[in-house]
Amino acid sequence: MLMHLFRLIWNRKLSNLLIILELTLAFVVLYFVSATALHLWSMYNRPLGFEWQSHYSMTINQGAEASESDMERLNGMIDRLEQRSDIDWVHIVKQALFQNWHWSTSINHEGDYIQTYMNTLSDGAAEDLGVTLLSGRFFNEGDAGQAWLPVLINRAVSERLFGEGVDPLGQNINPPSEDQPDQEQTEYRVIGVIEDFRQSGEFWGDEYYVLARFDTSRNDTFANSLVIRPQDGLSATFEASLLQEMTQMAPSWNITVRPLADYRQDRIRSVMTPIILSGIVAGFLLLMVAFGLFGVLWQNVTRRTHELGLRRALGASAADIFKQITIEMMLVASFAIVLGTLITIQFTLLGTFSSLNWMTTIKGSVLAAVVLLMLVAICTLYPGWIASRKQPADALRYE
Amino acid sequence: MSAPAISLQQVSKVYQTDRVETTALDQINLTIPQGEFVSIMGPSGCGKSTLLNLMGLLDAPSDGDIQILGQQVAHLKEKQLATIRNLKIGFVFQSFHLVPDLSVLDNVEIPLLYRSVSSSARRQAARDALERVGLKARMSHYPTQLSGGQQQRVAIARAIVGQPAILFADEPTGNLDSQMGKEILSILNDLNQQSGTTIVMVTHDQHQAEQTGRIIRIHDGQMIH
Ligand SMILES: Nc1ncnc2c1ncn2[C@@H]1O[C@H](COP(=O)(O)OP(=O)(O)OP(=O)(O)O)[C@@H](O)[C@H]1O
Ligand SMILES: [Mg+2]
C-alpha cells in the first residue's frame, strides 16, 4: 500500500510540490513562533537567583550637587534604617534590581576573555536576598583592605572560564595585564560560586554575571540603590513613613521608595508588550497559513473525489479512504518538515538569532512539526470524511 | 441449489434533486442465477446504469430488497458492503475510470490493495489479469498513452483481477468501434464460460445482446416482459 501511495505521490509531483512548498512555509513560520515561545518560556522559568517578593527598592538621585560627604550621609541613612524596628535589613545593591541600570565589563582568566554583567553588593546582601551559593562563601568584613576584590561568579561564568576540572575558588580573574602593565586593572579573586543573579528579571537573557563586594567604609564611592526588607511585608504606611524619614535626612536628594514587585511588573510588561504584539501578528500569519493550507488540502481532496469514489467502488471502505488520505498527507507533510528543517537549521548554524541554541531549535522543530501534522490532519480529514461519505456512484459522477 | 447471484425484490430508486423527483427505477423484481450472462437493454435514461449501480452496491435503493449471493444487503454496514464489493464484485464502467496518475499495472492492482495480499502476489495477479486481456506489454504505460479499447481492457483486467463471482459491465463497448467491441465481448464470454463468472452487461447493441444468455429490457424504470 505504501509503495502504491509513493508512486501515486511521485506521479503527482507537480501538484504535490506546491503543497509541499506551502507546508514548508507553514513549518518555518510555526518554527519561529514555537522557538520564540519556548525560548521565552524557558527564560521565564529559569530561577532568578534572588528573592524580591516582600522587598522595597530605594533609589537615590543626588541631583546636581554630588559631594564627597555623600557616602557618609548614605551610611548614616543606612544606620537609621537598620535601627528601625519595622525593618529586617537594609543592603546596597548598586545596580538596581529590575531596572535598566547595568554594568557590563570584560573579565579574563589566563587570557580567556568574556564580557559579563556585574553588580556590587554590601556584606550580607547576597545571603539576605536568598542567593543560592554553590560553593565557597559570601562577602564579609574580613574581605576589606585586601589587594584584590572578592567576587562571586555565577555558574555560567565558572563553567566558561574554569570548566570541569578546575576549582574556581581562590582563582584570580582579570589580573593586571602583563602586556599593558601601566594600565591599572582591578584584580578579582573568586570566593564563591552562585547559581545565578538575573538582575533584570525573568527575561534577562544574558548568562554571565559577577557579584563584587561593596565596601561601605570607602569614601570615594557611592550607591544609588538600596534594597530594604520590612518586617511585616509591604504596606503603604511603611512606604510613606520611610520616604518621609529619609527625605528629612537628605532634603536635597530625590528619593524613591517602591516595592521590587512593582519594578518587576514594569519589566515584564515592557518585555511582554512587543512580544504580545508580534505574537498577534504571528497569530494572524499562522491563521492565514492555516487557511491557505486548508484551501489547498481541501482542493486536493475534492479534486480527487472521483478517484476516491473509484477506490470505494473497487472495494475500499470509508476507513481505507481515510487511511489513504492521511498517510498520503503525512508523507507529503514529512517531506515539507524535512525541507523546512533544512531551512531553519541554517539560522541556528549561522547564529542569526542569539536565542536559537540547539536545544530551542530541536524543541521548536518538534513542536512545529507536531502542530503542522495536526493542522494537516484537520485540514485533510474533514474533506476526506466528506468525500468518503458519498455513495461511490455519486463520487464517480463527480467531475 | 445455490443462491442466485443477484436477486431484487420491489427495488425502486428515486433521485431527489432540488425540486424534481426522478423515479429512475420503479419496483424492479429480478433474479439472476449464478453463472448466467445477462444483458440489459433499453433507451437512454431508462435506468440501466442506475440498476447496475444498485446491484453492484455502488448506491443504495430508495426502496426494496437486494440480495447478493444470497445475502441481504439492506442492513449491512458500509464496511461490510465494501468487503462484498471487494471480494465478490467486479465493475467495468462505460467511461473506464482509470486513475490517470497511475501506471496500467498500478491501476489493475487497486482492488487487491484492500485485501490482505502480499505485494508480490498482488503484482503477479495484476500481470496475469493484464495477460488475459492481452495487454501485458503495456503494463508500465499510463492510461493517457493507450487507445480507448486498450483502456477498456485495462478496466476489465482491473475488474477481474480479484476473481469476482459477479461482473457488472456498463456499456463496456459503448465508446469503441465494432472490431474492438467484438474483442471485449469475447473476453467477457471467455470469462463467463471458463471461470463461471456471472456477468451483467448493459448494452445498446442488439447483436451483442443476442450473444448473451438472456436480455432484460427496461423502459422508464420498469422491466418489460
Ligand atoms: N444522480 C442523479 N441525480 C438525479 N437524477 C439522476 C441521477 N442519476 C440518474 N438520474 C436520472 O435517472 C434516470 C436514469 O438514469 P440512468 O443513468 O440510470 O440511465 P441509463 O439508462 O443508464 O441511460 P444511458 O443509456 O444514457 O446511460 C435518468 O432520468 C437520469 O436523469
Ligand atoms: Mg447509463
Instruction: Establish if B24 belongs to a structural domain.
Output: no
Instruction: Establish if B2 belongs to a structural domain.
Output: no
* Best of A300, A314, A323, A394 to mutate (most B CBs within 10 Å, chain B): A314
Between vectors from CA A172 to CA A170 and to CA A174, what angle results, nearest 5°? 155
More confidently predicted of A184 and A142 = A142
- Of all residues in chain B, the percent with pLDDT exceeding 90 is 85
Which residues on B lie below 8 Å from A316 (Cβ)?
A: 82, 86, 113-114
Q: What is the number of the ligand 1 atom nearest to the C-alpha of B43? A: 25
Same domain for A147 and A25: no
Same domain for A171 and A75: yes
* CA closest to A389 among chain B residues: B78
CA torsion angle B218 B220 B221 B225 (round to 10): -40
Instruction: Establish if A25 belongs to a structural domain.
Output: yes
Quickly state the pLDDT bin for B161 (edges 50, 70, 90): very high
Instruction: Establish if A242 belongs to a structural domain.
Output: no
Residue B112: which CATH number? 3.40.50.300
Across the interface, whether the CB atoms of A393 and B58 are under 8 A apart is answered yes
What burial class does residue B200 get, using C-beta atoms within 10 Å of its C-beta: 0-12 exposed, 13-18 middle, 19+ buried? buried
Residue from B22, B40, B94 to probe ligand 1 pocket by mutation (most atoms less than 8 Å from CB): B22
pLDDT at A163 over 70: yes
B121 contacts chain A (CB < 8 A): no
Structural domain tally of chain B?
A: 1
Element (H, E) at A251: none
Across the interface, whether the CB atoms of A396 and B93 are under 8 A apart is answered yes
Dist. CA B208–CA B225, nearest whole Å: 20
Quickly state the pLDDT bin for B106 (edges 50, 70, 90): very high
What is the structure's pLDDT at B213?
Answer: 93
Quickly state the pLDDT bin for A361 (edges 50, 70, 90): confident
Q: Compute, in angstroms, the gap from residue B30 CA to the centroid of ligand 2.
A: 19
Same domain for A215 and A69: yes
Structural domain tally of chain A?
A: 2
Dist. CA A256–CA A260, nearest whole Å: 12
Cell of A35: 522557538
Which amino acid is located at A389 in the chain?
R
Residue from B23, B40, B48, B52 to probe ligand 1 pocket by mutation (most atoms less than 8 Å from CB): B48
User: What is the mean pLDDT of the segment spanning B74-100?
Assistant: 93
User: Which 3 state secondary structure label does DSSP give A303?
Assistant: coil
A8 contacts chain B (CB < 8 A): yes
- Of A231, A253, A288, the residue at which a domain comes to its end is A231
Instruction: Establish if B45 belongs to a structural domain.
Output: yes
- Average the pLDDT over each of A269-273, B56-60, B123-127, B196-200 and give the range with the smallest value: A269-273
- Residue owning grid cell 445455490: B2
Dist. CA A351–CA A150, nearest whole Å: 35
ipTM: 0.94
B170 contacts chain A (CB < 8 A): no
Q: Compute, in angstroms, the gap from residue B51 CA to the centroid of ligand 2.
A: 9
Q: What is the number of the ligand 1 atom nearest to the C-alpha of B42? A: 21
pLDDT at A170 over 60: yes
What is the structure's pLDDT at A143?
Answer: 87
Instruction: Establish if A256 belongs to a structural domain.
Output: no
Phi/psi at A354 (nearest 5 deg)?
A: -65, -25
What is the structure's pLDDT at A81?
Answer: 93
pLDDT at A366 over 90: yes
Same domain for A201 and A339: no
User: What is the mean pLDDT of the segment spanning A107-136?
Assistant: 92
Q: Residue A137's domain spans which residues? A: 56-231
Same domain for A40 and A84: no
What is the structure's pLDDT at B193?
Answer: 94
User: What is the mean pLDDT of the segment spanning B20-27?
Assistant: 93
* CA closest to B78 among chain A residues: A317
Q: What is the pLDDT of residues A236-274, one digit of tens each?
A: 999 999 999 999 998 889 999 999 999 999 999 998 898
Q: Residue B169's domain spans which residues? A: 36-60+77-224
Instruction: Establish if B171 belongs to a structural domain.
Output: yes
Across the interface, whether the CB atoms of A8 and B111 are under 8 A apart is answered no
pLDDT at A158 over 60: yes
Instruction: Establish if A80 belongs to a structural domain.
Output: yes
Instruction: Establish if B65 belongs to a structural domain.
Output: no
- Of A184, A212, A231, the residue at which a domain comes to its end is A231
Task: List ligand 1's pocket residues with C-beta within 6 A.
Answer: A 397; B 15, 17, 22, 24, 42, 44-50
Q: What is the pLDDT of residues B142-160, one digit of tens each?
A: 999 999 889 999 999 999 9
- Spatial contact of B156 and B88, defined as CB atoms under 8 Å apart: no
Same domain for A84 and A16: no
Quickly state the pLDDT bin for A175 (edges 50, 70, 90): low
Residue from B21, B44, B46 to probe ligand 1 pocket by mutation (most atoms less than 8 Å from CB): B46
Distance (Å) of CA A53 to CA A48, A204, A205, A229, B131: 12, 18, 21, 10, 84
User: What is the mean pLDDT of the segment spanning A148-173?
Assistant: 90
Same domain for A389 and A303: yes
Instruction: Establish if A362 belongs to a structural domain.
Output: yes
Instruction: Establish if B20 belongs to a structural domain.
Output: no
Instruction: Establish if B26 belongs to a structural domain.
Output: no
What is the structure's pLDDT at A123?
Answer: 93
Same domain for A60 and A41: no
Same domain for A103 and A163: yes
User: Which 3 state secondary structure label does DSSP give A257?
Assistant: strand
Instruction: Establish if A73 belongs to a structural domain.
Output: yes
Same domain for A29 and A103: no
Across the interface, whether the CB atoms of B102 and A311 are under 8 A apart is answered no
For ligand 1, atom 30: residue with the closest CA: B45
Q: What is the pLDDT of residues A3-46, one digit of tens each?
A: 899 899 899 888 889 889 888 988 998 898 888 888 888 888 88
What is the structure's pLDDT at A177?
Answer: 61
Cell of A65: 550637587
Q: Which of the ligands is closest to the CA of residue B170?
A: 2
3-state secondary structure A135-161: EECCCCHHHCCCCCEEEEEEHHHHHHH
pLDDT at B82 over 90: yes
For ligand 1, atom 6: residue with the closest CA: B15
B164 contacts chain A (CB < 8 A): no
B128 contacts chain A (CB < 8 A): no
- Spatial contact of A297 and A19, defined as CB atoms under 8 Å apart: yes
For ligand 1, atom 14: residue with the closest CA: B47
Which residues on A lie below 8 Å from B106 (Cβ)?
A: 4, 7-8
Q: Max alpha carbon distance in chain A (Å)?
A: 98
pLDDT at B1 over 70: no
Instruction: Establish if B25 belongs to a structural domain.
Output: no
What is the structure's pLDDT at B159?
Answer: 95
What is the structure's pLDDT at A325?
Answer: 87
What is the structure's pLDDT at A313?
Answer: 94
What is the structure's pLDDT at A2?
Answer: 84
Q: Which of the ligands is closest to the CA of residue B41?
A: 1
Q: What is the pLDDT of residues A313-325, one digit of tens each?
A: 999 999 998 888 8
What is the structure's pLDDT at A178?
Answer: 60
Q: What is the pLDDT of residues B48-81, one digit of tens each?
A: 999 999 999 999 999 999 999 999 999 999 999 9
